[in-house]
Structure 1
Amino acid sequence: MTSWLEVEGKISTRILSPNTMYKACLIVQVAHHRAYGLDVLPFEVFVEVGDFRSRGTILLSHSERSKHPKKVLNLTYDQVHISRVCHERNDGWLEIELGEFYNEGFGEKEVKMSLREVDGVHLKAGLLVEGIEIRPVS
């Protein structure tokens, strides 16, 4: 249980393939019987590499009426544009798109990835985090 939630990850472009577009996704589950507060405010997601920054927002819903959080894309939530997708994977975990980035392949840069909701003062609980997955965009 927390009022401030931030999940961050970092990786060096040196260990990624050059001249390749990548997608970063946060892999999570929502513990429905103990989850609350996750759908009060949208979460901010971003990927940053050098001067490039990809930002977006996503809303996690843990309604008792549905087994899984809603799939959300291009909706408006209290004047905030929801721009990222959350969907269920075949293994039962949920995938939240943090953003995409291009690895040019020359020089070493740090890729920073994040999901956060730090503006609210309400409590939230029930988010299980497996990790961040980085894969080439096909």
Structure 2
Amino acid sequence: MTSWLEVEGKINTRILSPNTMYRACLIVQVAHHRTYGLDVEPCEVSIEVGELCSRGTVILSHDACTKRSLEHVCDGNKVKIGGSRSRLEDMVSRVGCERKDGWLEIALSDFYNEGLCEKEVKMSLREVNGVHLKGGLIVEALEIRPL
């Protein structure tokens, strides 16, 4: 239980293969019966690679990922989810995709590692504006994988 949610990770591009496109994802699970406050305010997600930065928002809720009317990309396929949009959903730019193992995968961004110079890759998920309590989020990893 917390009112301030912040998950951060860093990796240096020298560890990654050069001349390769990568996707950074946040892997989480929402405890169905013990979850509260995660769908009240969208979380901010970001990835920075050197000077380049990609930002967006996401609702950490299985309902947002499985029932609401949002169009998003999961593994390169466009997915349309049925239902009606709410005011909160209009503020969301990213949606998690449920994997076969039940975890939610939230794509933060794709990036290309040229391998010419070292850069730091910084990934984050934050919800620090809301004053309500949040609970029931399980974070497995911030994952970087080649495409």
Please give the range of the TM-score, normalised by the shorter of the 2 chains.
0.7 to 0.9
Contact 2:42/2:88 (8 A) holds in 1: no
For 1:99, the equivalent position in structure 2 comes to 109
C-alpha separation in 2, matches of 1:104 and 1:37: 40
Q: Which has the higher helix share?
A: 2
Which ranges of 4 or more aligned residues in structure 1 deviate by more than 6 Å? none
| TM-score of the aligned structures, taking structure 2 as reference length | 0.81
Q: Corresponding residue for 2:10? A: 10
Please list every run of 5 or more consecutive structure 2 residues that lacks an aligned counterpart in the other structure: 73-84
Code of the aligned partner of 1:23: R
Gaps of 5+ in 1: none
3-state DSSP class of the match of 2:91? strand
How far off is 1:36 after superposition? 0.1
**Number of aligned positions between the proteins:** 134
Checking the alignment, whether the CA contact within 8 Å between 1:39 and 1:62 is kept in structure 2 is no
Render the CA deviation track for 1:75-131: whole Å, top value 9, x for unaligned: 774495311120111111111112222211111111000011111111000000111
Q: How far apart, CA to CA, are the structure 1 residues paired with 2:24 and 2:61?
A: 21
Report the CA distance shift for 1:69/1:122 in structure 2 as closer, same or farther (over 3 A): farther
- Please say which of residues 90-99 and 9-18 is displaced more in the overlay: 90-99
**Percentage identity across paired residues of the two chains:** 69
- Cα distance, 1:58–1:80 mapped onto 2, change above 3 Å: same
1:27 and 1:94 in contact (8 A); partners too: yes
